[in-house]
Amino acid sequence: MIKPYASQRLLPRFVDDAQQRAALAAEAEQLPSVVVSSAAAANAVMLGGGYFTPLSGYMNRADALSVAQSMHTADGLFWPAPVLNLLTDISGLGDAERIALRDPNVAGNPVIAVQTVAAVDTLSDDDVDAVCEGVYKTGDSGHPGVATFRSLGRIAVAGDIEVLNFSYFQQDFPDTFRTAVEIRSAIEASGWQRTVAFQTRNPMHRAHEELCKMAMQAVNADGVVIHMLLGQLKPGDIPAAVRDAAIRKMVELYFQPNTAMITGYGFDMLYAGPREAVLHAIFRQNMGATHFIIGRDHAGVGDYYGAFDAQTIFDDEVPPDTLDIEIFRADHTAYSKILGRVVMMRDAPDHSPEDFVLLSGTKVREMLGNSIAPPPEFSRPEVAQILMDHYRSEAG
């Protein structure tokens, strides 16, 4: 089976032993504590689940700036985006060597992890600008990822963590949330030798469904892991529970049995385009996938990135032999009126735009909001019904 990234084994920071976890929880109640940001809590969830292997905790200022500039930590580990615990106020922590991190996304702010404090640094305005320019390729606060990062605190508390729980994800998405450890185990139990991973933060329409099948056929894969982001998104995105229901219905009706796993992970979207695509590839290698689909404007937003920047970064900026996972490079996928099937547009060079069923996201949302189902060439009717029900409930 494919090895985890930069490690012979997964290194989840979740305390799996129940007795040790209880002891840690008891210790946490005696420690100075702080409510962290949603981004830091999501990082704890990803560290806990093994997705961030080989990292063991939050980065210090030097590592964060080095990663932003060169995609390498100060000691040379290739990594595409800083993993930080940024706080606004540490006055309640004193000079404690261990602190309890409290979850901002769960009522009562329970402790999500205990951190051993290795360093405390303050980021300057120039530091924040450098991270934004390096990771997001822009300092524009109109970019949702930049806006979120600039809203976080400036005090970076670095150090290893021990994770007590996975925030709200296991409770809210018991059938979908899975750690990298669990997905790797499920792939192994299924006997899949070649596994495609598909990332989504949106409902899957007909083109996404067919893209997964195309990729599986192209690489002779045994199955696909549909891996949806369950964390915080930007305003206007479809809620995770609705996406989950729509994807489950699609797989139930339109995939062969035992060829698709529906899973999710607890991370807040960065909208960092190319850098986030590389981070996503590391997640998927750690969970056991051998191939990862990256399409047009993967993890992008607005016009901040070129259509294929998230693919070319693997050629231009990822050192050779750094990752074992293989990238399946997809073009825009749409239904061809001439061929009567979904194709990647690059495979139909004789087509004009009018030969495809193409609908903008704005147009689709408008149709669904008016209880008008998109054409079946664009969206499976059963999926469209779930989305129309959502928009109807939103309208009151």
CB burial of residue 75 (10 Å; 0-12, 13-18, 19+): exposed
Q: Taking the mean position of all CA atoms in its chain, how far away is CA 32?
A: 31
Query: Beta strand pairing status for 155-163 and 111-116?
Result: antiparallel
What amino acid occupies position 265? Answer: Y
- Residue 236 phi, psi dihedral angles, 5° rounding: 100, -15
What is the DSSP annotation of 113-168? EEEE--EEEE--HHHHHHHIIIIIS---TTSHHHHHHHHS-SEEEEEEEEE---TT
Structure tokens at 40: 């830091």
Q: Are 310 and 213 in contact (CB under 8 A)?
A: no
H or E segment and range at residue 265: strand 260-265
In this structure, are residues 304 and 264 in contact, taking their beta carbons and an 8 Å threshold? Answer: no
Catalytic residue among 201, 275, 296, 380: 201
Q: What token pair was written down for 119?
A: 């360093």
CB 100 within 8 A of CB 31: yes
User: Pick the catalytic residue: 150, 154, 202, 365?
Assistant: 202
105 a catalytic residue: no
Closest of 339, 388, 327 to residue 198, by C-alpha: 327
The closest of 178, 191, 207, 193 to 364, measured between CA atoms, is 207
Catalytic residue check, 202: yes
Q: Which residue has the tokens 């928009």?
A: 391
Upper half-sphere CA count for residue 317 (Cβ side, 13 Å):
22
- Alpha-helix runs per DSSP H in the chain: 18-28, 38-49, 61-70, 125-131, 144-151, 169-172, 180-190, 206-219, 240-254, 274-287, 309-316, 361-369, 381-395
For residues 263 and 229, what is the distance between their CA atoms, to the nearest angstrom?
9
Residues involved in catalysis: 201-202
